Amino acid sequence: MIIDTAIENILDLSDNNLSLSEIRSEIVNLQDNMINFVYLGKRSYRPIWNLQQQIHNEVKNNTICSTVLFLEHDHVYTFGKNANKDFLLNSYPKDIDVVETDRGGQVTYHGPGQLVGYPIINLNHFKKSVSWYMRSLEKVIIMTLSDYGISAERKDGMTGVWVDDEKICAMGVRLSRWVAMHGFALNLEPKMEYYDSMIPCGIQEYGITSISDKLSDNISIDKIIESLTINFIKTFNIEEV
């Protein structure tokens, strides 16, 4: 397993001057790995959802390989397809976009200081099991947090990753023909007041936390992406990239 090569091959497309069509072309032309990793910088939600859908179709049709997108979003609240709209409170800032999506789960928040990962992964090449896939995503996050001395865990019956009784990473996915899209949102240092206008993931009895709340040292987004990439490779048992 060539970890150093994996880090070198994280494709950096964070230049905001790149159009979505240019980004898609770069991704389509990536070498044929089991999973490729791409960093998109900070992007608004709707265009990236459109890009996800395009890549998802390509992966379903086996014209490109599985791809993980890493990025930050501009401020946005999103609903899962069967979400309770009452979980977004009327006090939410009205200048923030609200998007109804096709993922699972309830309402969630994305914004600067939060690293979003969209693994568009063909489970036909791994294991055709939704529960295995969700537990694998959680494992990637738990291992990554452990790399920085944060002890995280799962909670029975709840999706995501927790530090004690506070959620640090939310998850919601969609699968079609065993190809996944959407994914996870890991709190690095978001503005926590944006959570005050919602019931995150519909869970009222627990709180929300972030990496910055647990560590005195700042960790760059680049380092977190490197750790996530390594732990994806380990968890999905990719022998070479």
The residues annotated as belonging to the active site are 201
State the Cα angle at 116 between 206 and 46, rounded to 5°. 110
The DSSP element (H or E) to which 220 belongs, if any, is none
Query: Are 180 and 174 in contact, with CB atoms under 8 Å apart?
Result: yes
Instruction: Give the DSSP letter string of 73-134.
Output: E-SEEEE-TT--GGGB-TTS-TTSEEEE-SSSSS-EEE-TTEEEEEEE-BGGGS---HHHHH
State the Cα angle at 106 between 224 and 50, rounded to 5°. 65
Cα atoms in the 13 Å half-sphere on the side-chain side of 7:
11
Q: Does the CA dihedral 10-3-35-115 come out positive or negative?
A: negative
- Rounded to whole angstroms, the Cα distance separating 95 from 103 reads 23
